[in-house]
Structure 1
Amino acid sequence: MSLLSFLFGTKNDKVTVISAADFKQQIENKNVQLIDVRTAGEFKSGAIKNATNIDYLSGNFISKCDSLNKDKPVYLYCRSGARSARAAKKLSRAGFSKIYDLKGGISSYK
């Protein structure tokens, strides 16, 4: 059972929760849509290289994601995995076709 299934009680084939090792391998040296959904303050305290900060808790998360390509994979992370799981569900409903969520957040990535 994925984290999304556990949190929301549904299976979502657009969202894949992946380990830190797989996440790192998939984004390394590639031009990907890498989104840090933490607050600006958290982002400034340290982020994954080449990540764009779009705060999930801001009132306009989805409108800020409108500049992203919905047909290209999106890689999401937060501090521990909870916010990025919720962000992934929102992006899925907004029409994004392939979303990768970092299991355990940036805490597991370091």
Structure 2
Amino acid sequence: MKADLKLVAILTLSLLPCFLYAEVEQALPVRFAELIKEENTVLVDVRSPEEAKAAHIKGSKLVNYYANTFREEIQKLPKTKKILLYCRSGNRSGKTASYLESLGFEQLVNQSGGINAWKREGLPVVEM
């Protein structure tokens, strides 16, 4: 009986951190497009400048995931706003969301499928 109680206590305490942190929302393109229209959001493209030049979502701030200054730049984002992240496929933006979450950011949205999924839905992009 005591062993069972100890096991329950250990499991409860080990899972507690999972509930203390906000989860990163995974948004499909149509939902992501709706979120972009909301106030107090920052839209962030974590692709390379070359990728962003080919096609990007209007109004996005470019923070190159592969740049030496990436961590420094991404930390400058406001913690008081909802951060909307995207990349090519959702991988880099997902990693960025996890990193920001570890820094205490609470309002994070990763666009599932990245700009590839965005374009498949026929949503608008800026091409240069």
Instruction: Tell me the TM-score normalised to structure 1 length.
Output: 0.82
Tell me the equivalent position of 2:90: 81
1:13-92 map, 5 Å: 13-28=22-37, 30=39, 32-92=41-101
Which structure 1 residue ranges, 4+ long, deviate > 4 Å from structure 2?
Answer: none
- Is the Cα–Cα contact under 8 Å of residues 80 and 105 in structure 1 kept in the other structure? yes
Larger gyration radius, structure 1 or structure 2 = 2
The separation in 1 between residues aligned to 2:107 and 2:27, in whole angstroms, is: 13
Give the corresponding residue for 1:93: 102
Tell me if structure 2 keeps the 8 A contact 1:77–1:106: yes
Using the alignment, how far apart are the partners of 1:109 and 1:23 within structure 2? Answer: 9
Deviations 1:48-105 (A, max 9, x none): 0000100112222221023311121100000011111111111111221110000000
Cα distance in structure 2, aligned partners of 1:13 and 1:31: 18
User: Structure 1 or 2: larger helix share?
Assistant: 2
User: Runs of 5+ in structure 1 lacking a partner?
Assistant: 1-9
Q: Which residue of 2 aligns with 1:108?
A: 117
**Percent identity between the aligned chains?**
33
Q: What is the RMSD computed on CA atoms of the aligned residues?
A: 1.9
